Structure formats: structure tokens, C-alpha cells
Structure 1
Amino acid sequence: HMGVFEKLKYNLISKGYTYRQLFWITGFLAFFISPIADNLTTALILSTVLITIEQKKKAFLVPGAINIVVAANAGGAWSPFGDITTLMAWTAGKGTFVDFLFLFPASIIGYLVTAFLLAKVVPNTVPETDLSKEKKPEVATGANIVIGLGIFTIFSAVMSHQVLHLPAMWGMMFGLSLLKLFDYSLKRKHGKGFGVFDSMAKIENNTLMFFFGILAAVGALYFIGWLSLAVIVYDPSVLGPTWSNIGVGFLSAIVDNVPVMSAVLKASPTMGLDQWMLVTLTAGVGGSMISFGSAAGVGVMGKLPGIYTFGAHMKYSWMIVIGYAVSCAVWYLQYQVMGIGA
């Protein structure tokens, strides 16, 4: 609404980058915006950039869309604010805010492996864009302050949870109240604000109802005792925690990572910090293996209908599986061998 992302989109289009350069730029933007803005929002914004740059060339759009989904999910895995699964693990007390940051090496290395493989199939030519049709956007008054308030809100949520031992929601609501006060001051000074409540009204209820329904279903399974039976796979005599948590990634790709993570948290198998970090990593990153395995993937399919499809995604899924395996290997080296973050 403030024109920040429109400005970003225009800058990417007007610089004359090749398809391959745009592939890497949008991927890195997704990876580093996702920890702050969340993976779904990031994927939706950057997939809009893709379709603005090119409407027909599937050789760029499909790998580019997959790259954004993988980057957004990988970026969200190491931040409690980047993915619902990580947020759930953090609010459940499975690790401190800093503990999740130690997943950064596994997240970025796994993403880079997948991106390197995907980049091989992206054309290295310059897109034919008619800049005369693109109007240069202007950033609205107060946009920088809104960005600063967003960062402060995240800091406030972390402090309320880690230091004051209050629900993180309180910190988020405090930040939202400051945003509303700033909106009020803009209306007083300039006669026009950005409408906090108008923006909130645009939240998709279908998405919220999906999460409410799926979490209620998981709660029902826990209530009747089925999740307690599933915990048996974590027993060392069966699969053990490491292989079970790696399997969670594949399951999250099929079922969606949110209900899978919810089920693991409800079942609450006895695990150390290192294993809780592994299941957070695998649930977040594993959702990328199938197009509908994460909210980011589903969102991008809606943005690029007929282009980014289940079939198009599966054509390159082996590249994502390799990146997933590398992420797990980096976790093993970091936590089990070197003892960093455990």
C-alpha cells in the first residue's frame, strides 16, 4: 500500500538484468525477506514481480517460481517469524529465538544447492520489457517509518516472549497499536493515512479457516490418542528421532507442513534441542518438495495459474530433494559432529 514493493518491482524491471540474474536476485530477496515478512507474503510479492517481467516464457517462470518457493521456505525455517511451523515451535517453548538462528547455515546451503541446479535451466538472455508501459512508482510518505515499525514489532514480540515471558502476541499487538497511532498522525498532518483496518480487512479468511480446520483436526487426533501411537516411530528401536524427523519433511510435502508440525508438537516426543531444531528445519524446508506442500507453494500456484502447476513443479522436484538432503547433512555436521547450536 505504501508503494515499497511496487518500487522494488520497477527497479528490477528497469535495470536490464538477464533472466538468470533476475532468478538469483528474486531468490535471495525471498530468502532474506521471508524471515521478517513470512514465507507466504514474500512468495506472493516476488511471484507478482516474475509475472510482471515475463508472462509467457515458462523456461524462466517455472524455475523462477520454484526458486522463490524454495527460498521463502528455507528463509522462513531459521526465523520464528518466517514460517508458521517455526513460529509454532518457538511459542511452544522448543527453543529460544537465538536457537532458531543456528539453522541459518543448513537453510541457506540447502537453498543454494537447489538454486544452483535450477539456474542451469534458466535462459541467460535479457527479457523484452516495454518500460514505456511501466509507470515509475513513488514511495508514499512515511513508508520508511512503517518499515522501521515492522522491524520494531518483531523485536517487541521477541522481547515480550523471551524476556518478559509473555505471549509473543502481546508484543505484536503493541507494534500494531504504534502503527495505528502513526496512521492517525499521518491523517492529522497530511490528510491521508494508509488505513490499518482497511489492510486488515483484506486478510483472506479462506486461508485462516483452512488453518483453523486443519489444526482442529490435529487436536481431535490428539484427543482420541492416535498421535500418541504415532510417537512410537521416535523410539530408537524403530526409527529413532533423527530419521523420524527427516521423514517429517517428506510427510509435510504431502500433507502440508503446518498440520504435520502441529501433530509433532501435540505428540511431543522426548527429544533434545538439536532434534527439535531438525524437525523445525525439515518441516519448513520439506514443504517445498511438492507444490502444495507449503502455503508459499499454494500461493504461487494461484499467482501463476497454468504455468506453475503440480506437474511443472514435479519435473524439478529432484533438485529440491538434493537440497533437502544437503540441509539435513549440514544439520548433522553442525549439531551432531561439531556441537554448534546444540
Structure 2
Amino acid sequence: MRRVTLFVNGSSTNGKVVAVFGSLEDLLTAASSKLGIRASGVYNGNGGLIDDVALIRDDDVLYISDGDSSEDVQDELIGPARCQTHTDWLTLNVGGRCFTTTRSTLVSKEPESMLAHMFREKDVWGNKQDSQGAYLIDRSPDYFEPILNYLRHGQLIINEGINPLGVLEEARFFGIEQLAEQLETLIKSSQPPEDHSPLSRKEFIRFLLATTTKSELRCQGLNFTGADLSRLDLRYINFKMANLRGANLSHANLSGANLERADLSMACLDSANLQGVKMLCTNAEGASLRGCNFEDPAGIKANLEGANLKNVDMEGSQMTGINLRVATLKNAKLKNCNLRGATLAGTDLEEVNWRWRRLIGGLWSTPAGPIRVQYTSENQ
């Protein structure tokens, strides 16, 4: 499909973009409708009469005579006035690099773009020029070149080494919407698919070795599903919102680690060091925490406030001073646990097994409904 820009009687204002179909008579009919005149002839920028539609090229700027005023058209395009038409060659100085093009290239293909409005009529925008007469545009020349080529031939071509994101920003800046849509599709298709596969022990150890001991290691939101992280030094690592479902963390040192809102369901943390650990709102349902040490000699209390500890096995764990406020311990096993100074306000303790527990000075709040606790020793 060819598109041309039509003006009346040599004028350079109020042009219309028209698709060229069929014969020359069809074009004159379309021109009459678009321009609101009785079109009788078609002329090029040099005043030459076009008598065959095959002579018309894509993006041509043409002039339509109104009735029998063909002489007016020719007069308008003779002499100095001819230099003022839309077929003018002009030079753009974009970020210090010059591009030579025609006014019709900037105007015809994207008539609603900023470039079209800047150069449709001469000096309407008061465009600044350098000492050589080139119009100054303060943008990146590397990103502007693909846009100019698109306006020339309608194809998106980006040379190697040019970031499509930069071209996209230029297309948006100049208001070239069709090109922006093409670039968005190109960028989206070129991005690799998101990798949600869990990290392996080997990958994580390599990650650990590449980080200095003085740096905070951020593993926030990472996927460690089923990973073997047993016996590793994981002190002070940020596992906030990480997926550790079914992971093996037995004998790991998690002192001071941040496990807030992490998923530890069905994980194994047997004999792990959890001194001063932060496990606010952690989901540890069905996890095994047998023989864990939550007591920090420095006095920093492990915080499990709001944690989901349903069906957790914490048998034999050292839990002095632990904060279990509003945590859920339904059906948990707390046999032989030391809960000296523990905070249990609002904790759900339904069906908890406390056999051989030590509970001295704990802060209690009775949850709603009956609590059935197994008492099997006189030492309770």
C-alpha cells in the first residue's frame, strides 16, 4: 500500500495523508473527499502534472488543483517558493551527529509524531539551528538513527551493539507509537524465560565462597526447595520470603539469620543453631526442629512471633526466652523442651505434647477453646 500527502493548490498547510488505490481518478475522488474540494489534477513538487498513478511513489508529497486552477498550482511551485515545499532536503544535528533527510520523511509516515509537528511547517516550532543551518535536537544519535530509517522505509532495523531499550525511549519521546509497539514486542521476545528452578547445594556454596564474611548475603525470595544446606555456616544470611520447603538444614548454623515469612514447611532443621533467629510469620508447618538451640548467650531472643508451627517436632530443643507470641503450635511436639522465660501470649497450643517440659516464668495467654496437654511426669 502506498501513502501520499496531499496539499491544495501548492499550499504547505492542512495536508492530508491518503492511501493510493486503483486509478488516478480514484485518487482524485479520495482527494476531493479528504480536502473538501473538486480535485481536477495532481502535481509533483516541481509543478509537473501527473497523468499516471504508476508514477506515484510511497511517501510522495503531491499537490491537488481545485477545479480549473492548475495554473495556480504551478505558480505556487515556481521560483523561490519551490524551496519552501515539503520536498525540501534538511539536516538534523542530533546530539552532535548530522543526519540529512527530507521534510516529507519526517512528516508523512507518522503525521501525529513530534517530528511531524516540528517540521510540517517551516519554523513553526522555532527550531534552533547550528552555524551550518542544521536543526539542533538534543537526543542520542545512536538511538535516533533506527527511528529515522523506520520513517524512511517502514522497517525496524537496529544495528548490533544498540540497546533496543534506548530506541524504545526515543520512539516514545517522539510519539511514534507504532514503532514503540514493535520495539516492546522485540524486547519482550528477546528476554530469556524466567528461571524458577531451585538452587542446588553446589551453586549455593559457590555463591557463599564468592562473598566476603563481612558482607550481608541477601537470599531474599530465592528458591531452595528440597536443597541440601546441611552443616553449612549460614549466620546472618537474609532468607526473607525464601522458599525452603523440604530443604535439609540439619546441623546448619543459622544464628542471627532472617527467615521472616520464609517457607520452611516439611524442612529438616534438626540440631540446627537458631540463636537469635528471626522467624516472624514463617511457615514451618510439618518441619522437624528436634534438638535445636534457640538460646543466645548474648541475650538476643529468637523471634517466632506469628509463625505457623503446626505439627512441628521440636523435641529436646533449647528454647529459653523464645518469642512465640500468637504463633500456631497446634499438634506440635515440645517434649523435653526448655521454655524458661518464653513468651506464649495468644499462642495456639491445641493438642500440644509437653511431656518432660520445663516452663518457668513463661508468659501465658489462654487461647479460646479447650487445650488438651499431655501430662505424663511429676516433674511438670
> Is this a same-fold pair by TM over 0.5?
no
**Which structure has greater strand proportion?**
2
Structure number with greater CO (CA < 8 Å, separation at least 6) is 1
Q: TM-score, normalised by structure 2?
A: 0.19
**Which structure has greater helix proportion?**
1
Q: TM-score, normalised by structure 1?
A: 0.20
